[in-house]
Chains A and B, each alone.
Chain A
Amino acid sequence: MIVAERVTDAARGFIQRVRISTSAWLYPVGAAILLIALPFVFRLDGHAHAEWLQFFGRFHPVLLHLPIGLIVLLPVLEIAGAKRPALREAADLVLRAALALAMPTLALGYMLAYGAGDTGTTVTRHMWGANVLCIGLILCVFVRPAWAAGRQRLAYPTLLTVTLLTLTWTSHQGGSITHGSGYLTHYMPSGLRPIFGADSAESVSPDSFYARHIHPVLDAKCVSCHGASMVKGNLRLDTYDHLMRGGQDGAVVMPGKPENSMLLARVTLPSGDKHFMPAEGRTPLTSDEINWIRAWIRAGATPTAISVPGVRVIEDHPEPPPQPVGDYSQLLPEIRAMQNGVGAKLVPVSANPSDGLILRTADVASSFGDAQLAAFQKFAPYIVEAELARTAITDGGFDTLQKFTHLRALHLEGTSITGIGLAKLNALTQLTYINLSGTKVNAQSVTALKAMPHLRHVYLFNTAAQSDESSAKDLQ
């Protein structure tokens, strides 16, 4: 009782100090009640209503920046007005103008949400935030004269602060509706993420095709209107469960039947169609993305399948860039003499000397053995490819080959090597290609290849080491 009496006493005192007649209070209180009642009268039921509502409603984003600008101007004027009283007078006008603009903005926003049938937590928050904001502005208008006259020190500053905080929060909710909730944190440096608690979206099973290719597409292109924060057409696409549940018109994904799946139908309409998705001129899906979705639905729309037939997303594993070889101009006379002689040749890869040399033995293969190879040691650092196919090279040749520090491709097909000593090639950090087709290597002797850093193309056709139909094995 005592508390209640105190509260009523305080209220009476406050009302006397503000000096507004009791009947005048009907305006702000009545407006507030109307605003609070509005959502209960016109419930956001997730159904679209009259199109004229949406026509007007779409001017909401146009208008809303005007009241925001004026409201943000208020504290500046009030604080600066301590020194320059003229600004205080301006503040009164700005406050009233802000209210005059905030009310139609709220009305248009409501038409937009109600007309388009938007629902969702963010939409609801945005709506209530706007309600509170408008009520705050109305109260500010009524309380400010007393504060300006110095009779009431706290009410107006408190109300204005609350109004500004409400404005910030409401605007952020509105932004999340338009741009998606992750818009601000999308490019946040990873170091900051834990501090702000911005985490990445959870997924079904992280290596599934859905998680790698379908969810990211929906997340980027659809979830801003069909997510947890905003639900148009009662359809959410932010999780696998919601996607499969569908929306107000039923399921949007029919596993195995892409042609009957509304999700696909809506994104493949002609872009002028009013049912085309993503709506309102947002970025459409690319043909690749549509193909992934189609193939995924055809394959049963599972959350677990790792790959689906009909889609290959080329994962780029670029080859390591070749390292330029050193300057071999000192050796040019010898190399030239070799070109004109009979026997193995050193041929430049291209007109650019740093691309290195190819050791070419095709013309003398049968007589080219380990001894001949050893004669090329002085050129070893400049040779990037050794064509030793069908030569007389044996396992002893690996002693020389391990000195070919820039070797990228090694052809030994059709030689009599058995693979003993292959491990010596570990020293060749540039080696990406080795061809051992038709040699005497076996599964045991080629195990050494697994340890080699850059090896990507290994050919074991027609050998005992050949494991399957295709002899090329990607070791990566």
Chain B
Amino acid sequence: MKQHPLCSDCEPELDITQLPIPAGLKREWSAVETRRRFLGRSGKVLGWAALASLFGEAALRGHGADAKNPALATRNNLGLPHFAPKAKRAIYLFMSGGPPQMDLLDYKPNLASQFNKDIPNSVRGNQQLTGMTAGQSRFPIAPSHWGFKQYGQTGTWVSDLLPYTARMIDDLTIVKSVNTDAINHEPAIMFINTGNMNPGKPCLGSWLAYGLGSMNDNLPTFVVLQTKTNPKENNQPVSSRLWSSGFLSSEYAGVGLRSGGDPVLYLADPDGVDREVRRKMLDAVEQINRQTLADVGDPETNARIAQYEMAFRMQSSVPELTDLSKEPQSTWDLYGPEARVPGTFAYNCLLARRMAERNVRFVQVYKRGWDVHGDLVGTLPILCQETDRPCYALVTDLKRRGLLDDTLVIWAGEFGRTVYSQGGLSADNYGRDHHPRCFTTWMVGGGVKPGITYGETDDYSYNVVKDPVHVRNFNATILACLGIDHNRLTYDFQGLDQRLTGPAPAYVVKGLLA
């Protein structure tokens, strides 16, 4: 607040630290102040170094640092990772729509004899059903259309739909007892990604970006890859709400790479604009932005500055990332020919491996179409054909390149599917409705115990009978693999120490950890 020279009404200088606003905002403000002075001293050109502070390991430290607490390279002085992490980075293969667990990995041999019988009331209980099946007069059991065989030294049963997954079954940590609170796509997918059914909370990737920061200044910390939809499948929408940074600064939001054409729109310079011109333009915008920052003090302006600089660096790093011409033949042998087509799941898995090599902290690959309410026998083989081999290729590729030791790969959807058929059950086709009470996920790599199956469901894959893993605990376990105590990665917002796992108690599932 500037004082008018003729005004005798002495208004005190506005002191941000005295205002009744969240501590997080004050922290953000003091960071801005420090950064501003620092940038002010560094003259007109905002150097790489200063910008590195925004995206690389932050520059703002030194509060009470001593030998015990070096306060080094921990973003926002958060002191993370809390303990030595097993995994430095994670790749999340998200199967949007809800894969049917009993047709893939949750083998239920007893169902074959119960074809078209009603599911016992004692099993179904009185839990809520969706509007899609609540009106059905019967709930006939639909055994899986596909056979299962045992694979590997672990003798794990795997559906004939997943021949490639079967090959790596001894490396996987399979969790059959994951359960969630929501029965519909949007709340459930929000819940597993952000820990809350309502939009507005930061997602797992944003928490990681905020808490752990970047390992490579030239690429975003958190990248989202969408797979092109297949019109034969029932595609539920996914939106940027799922990779939103919520109340965290928007620089921690996921950066989406497009599934077709240019991975990032308008990244290439137009004709007649060279790097020099682009740099000058950015410097000018920079000055305007810093002026705004000085006047208004909105932390989001910082995020904007950072994103401009990131975009500038991505002009060279993204083309290099997506240039697959130097990939050896062994890559194509592994991922298959589909990996050459941008936007396919195989292509995205290959890109995820290239990002892991380049130390991108978190990559989330979305594959839609798992919402098999009807014609399951027709669509599930297509879905598995699209995803089975790439999943195997990604894990195998990371393994042979020595990246699986410190990369955590997660395969999960937002919920499971019902054992009873939705709509008509015929001898050779059926559909399955949403089922939040149990679903199957798998993990592999840094931090998790290979070759185990954790948790058990009943004979109908309907209820968990042993070692339930709630989604909150699943997320807490993922954070633990990355060196984070989920109770201590918090952000003060709306009067609550917000965290990914929410205010209810959540636990790390020790049985999954290596």
Interfacial chain B residues near A472, Cβ < 8 Å: 399-400, 402
Tell me, in angstroms, the Cα distance from A341 to B53 when the chains sit together: 9
Pair A340/B85 contact, Cβ less than 8 Å:
no
Interfacial chain A residues near B405, Cβ < 8 Å: 409, 433, 457
Tell me, in angstroms, the Cα distance from A347 to B357 when the chains sit together: 18
Pair A332/B70 contact, Cβ less than 8 Å:
yes
Contact with B along A455-476 (1 / 0, CB 8 A): 0010101100000001110000
Interfacial chain A residues near B67, Cβ < 8 Å: 327, 329, 332, 353
Contact with B along A20-34 (1 / 0, CB 8 A): 000000000000000
Pair A339/B153 contact, Cβ less than 8 Å:
no
Tell me, in angstroms, the Cα distance from A348 to B213 when the chains sit together: 12
Pair B84/A362 contact, Cβ less than 8 Å:
no
Decide yes or no whether B68 CB sits under 8 A from chain A: yes
Pair B48/A459 contact, Cβ less than 8 Å:
no
Pair A347/B72 contact, Cβ less than 8 Å:
yes
Q: Taking CB as reference atom, which chain B residue is nearest A470?
A: B400
Interfacial chain B residues near A347, Cβ < 8 Å: 57, 72-73
A399 to chain B, nearest CB (A): 24
Pair A413/B402 contact, Cβ less than 8 Å:
yes
Of residues A389, A411, A433, A457, which shows the largest number of chain B Cβ atoms within 10 Å of its Cβ? A389
Decide yes or no whether B321 CB sits under 8 A from chain A: no
Query: Which B residues from 22 to 66 make CB contacts under 8 A with A?
Result: 48-49, 52-53, 56-57, 59, 61-62, 65-66
Query: Which A residues from 291 to 341 make CB contacts under 8 A with B?
Result: 291, 295, 307, 309-312, 314, 322, 327-329, 332, 335-336, 339-341
Pair B170/A336 contact, Cβ less than 8 Å:
no
Interfacial chain A residues near B81, Cβ < 8 Å: 349-351
**Stretch among B11-19, B215-223, B289-297, B491-499 lining the A interface:** B215-223
Interfacial chain A residues near B451, Cβ < 8 Å: 312, 314
Tell me, in angstroms, the Cα distance from A385 to B399 when the chains sit together: 19
Q: How large is the interface on B (under 10, 10 to 19, 20 to 34, 35 or more residues)?
A: 35 or more
B158 to chain A, nearest CB (A): 12
Of residues A307, A387, A457, A472, which shows the largest number of chain B Cβ atoms within 10 Å of its Cβ? A472
Decide yes or no whether A345 CB sits under 8 A from chain B: yes
Pair A355/B402 contact, Cβ less than 8 Å:
no
Pair B82/A336 contact, Cβ less than 8 Å:
no
Pair A459/B401 contact, Cβ less than 8 Å:
yes
* Other-chain residue from B52, B66, B150 in contact with A342 (beta carbon distance below 8 A): B52
A49 to chain B, nearest CB (A): 39
* Other-chain residue from B84, B218, B401 in contact with A363 (beta carbon distance below 8 A): B218
Pair A339/B216 contact, Cβ less than 8 Å:
no
Decide yes or no whether A224 CB sits under 8 A from chain B: no
Pair A363/B402 contact, Cβ less than 8 Å:
no
Tell me, in angstroms, the Cα distance from A348 to B75 when the chains sit together: 12
Contact with A along B192-225 (1 / 0, CB 8 A): 0000000000000000000000011110000000
* Other-chain residue from B68, B73, B84 in contact with A339 (beta carbon distance below 8 A): B73
Q: How large is the interface on A (under 10, 10 to 19, 20 to 34, 35 or more residues)?
A: 35 or more
Pair B83/A351 contact, Cβ less than 8 Å:
yes
Decide yes or no whether A352 CB sits under 8 A from chain B: yes
Interfacial chain B residues near A340, Cβ < 8 Å: 49, 52-53, 59
Decide yes or no whether B230 CB sits under 8 A from chain A: no
Tell me, in angstroms, the Cα distance from A471 to B218 when the chains sit together: 29
Tell me, in angstroms, the Cα distance from A347 to B66 when the chains sit together: 16
Of residues B52, B56, B73, which shows the largest number of chain A Cβ atoms within 10 Å of its Cβ? B73
Decide yes or no whether B74 CB sits under 8 A from chain A: yes
Pair B400/A339 contact, Cβ less than 8 Å:
no
Pair A362/B73 contact, Cβ less than 8 Å:
no
A377 to chain B, nearest CB (A): 19
Interfacial chain B residues near A415, Cβ < 8 Å: none
Contact with B along A90-109 (1 / 0, CB 8 A): 00000000000000000000
B310 to chain A, nearest CB (A): 13
Decide yes or no whether B328 CB sits under 8 A from chain A: yes
Decide yes or no whether A360 CB sits under 8 A from chain B: yes
Pair B74/A348 contact, Cβ less than 8 Å:
yes
Pair B83/A348 contact, Cβ less than 8 Å:
no
* Other-chain residue from B68, B150, B399 in contact with A470 (beta carbon distance below 8 A): B399
Decide yes or no whether B124 CB sits under 8 A from chain A: no
Pair A461/B400 contact, Cβ less than 8 Å:
yes
Pair A351/B69 contact, Cβ less than 8 Å:
yes
Pair B401/A413 contact, Cβ less than 8 Å:
yes
Pair B56/A345 contact, Cβ less than 8 Å:
yes
Decide yes or no whether B330 CB sits under 8 A from chain A: yes
Q: Taking CB as reference atom, which chain A residue is nearest B488?
A: A351
Interfacial chain A residues near B152, Cβ < 8 Å: 310, 312
Decide yes or no whether A430 CB sits under 8 A from chain B: no
* Other-chain residue from A310, A322, A355 in contact with B155 (beta carbon distance below 8 A): A310
Decide yes or no whether A437 CB sits under 8 A from chain B: yes
Interfacial chain B residues near A387, Cβ < 8 Å: 359
Pair A437/B402 contact, Cβ less than 8 Å:
yes
B496 to chain A, nearest CB (A): 23
Pair B72/A310 contact, Cβ less than 8 Å:
no
Interfacial chain B residues near A413, Cβ < 8 Å: 401-402
Decide yes or no whether B278 CB sits under 8 A from chain A: no
Q: Taking CB as reference atom, which chain B residue is nearest A438?
A: B401
Query: Which A residues from 353 to 390 make CB contacts under 8 A with B?
Result: 353, 355, 360, 362-363, 387, 389
Q: Could you name 13 residue pairs across A and B whose Cβ atoms are closer than 8 Å?
A: A309-B155, A329-B66, A342-B48, A348-B73, A350-B483, A351-B81, A353-B69, A355-B83, A409-B406, A437-B401, A461-B400, A462-B330, A470-B399
* Top-6 shortest CB links A-B: A312-B153, A329-B67, A310-B155, A459-B402, A435-B402, A351-B79
> Which residues on A are within 8 Å of B, measured CB to CB?
291, 295, 307, 309-312, 314, 322, 327-329, 332, 335-336, 339-342, 345-353, 355, 360, 362-363, 387, 389, 409, 411, 413, 433, 435, 437, 457, 459, 461-462, 470-472
